Amino acid sequence: MAMNFETYLKDGKTWLHELCTYLGIDDDLKAARIFRAVLHAIRDRIPTGEAIHFGAQLPIIWKGIYYDGFSMHEPVRIRHEDEWLEFIRTKDSGADQADFPTLDHAFYAFQDVMSFLRDHISEGQYRQIAQALHSEITVPA
């Protein structure tokens, strides 16, 4: 199998530019940080098997970002939406105050990323992720 790094880069950038539209921002770096934070929060919240199946649907560049720091784990127990939003903020590598200055910012970013994922991964995988999150966590249908 040939490795086409140009295609991998193009696919990753395409997702990033589309995500900027969903987030309503023009800053690629900020969008990438937000996406990484939400991806890592989801990855750590859902069972390991689900996390692996989800990661398989990402473009290769985003797959690498998603799996960075990954380990076999018990899902983090989160029962309340505010707890979930704080968890997302902790995944933002020190930029949480710039990207998520309030829980409202984290809420809307999460909603936008989930809407983006709903449109870019299989319906079944999206439903499994949504179901793996606690029922108090608002997920776009």
The residues, any chain, with a CB within 8 Å of residue 79's CB and separated by 6 or more, are 134, 136
Low-confidence ranges of the chain (pLDDT < 70): 1, 96
Neighbouring C-beta atoms of residue 77, cutoff 10 Å? 8
Euclidean distance between CA atoms 81 and 7, whole angstroms: 37
What is the rounded distance in angstroms from the CA atom of residue 102 to the CA atom of residue 53?
A: 31
CATH architecture of 25-132: Orthogonal Bundle (1.10)
CB atoms within 10 A of CB 119: 10
- Record the pTM: 0.93
pLDDT digits (tens, 9 = 90+) for 65-105: 999 999 888 999 998 999 999 999 999 987 768 899 999 99
Residue 115 identity (one-letter amino acid): S
What confidence score (pLDDT) does residue 95 get? Answer: 75
**How far, rounded to the nearest angstrom, does the alpha carbon of residue 137 sit from its chain's CA centroid?**
15
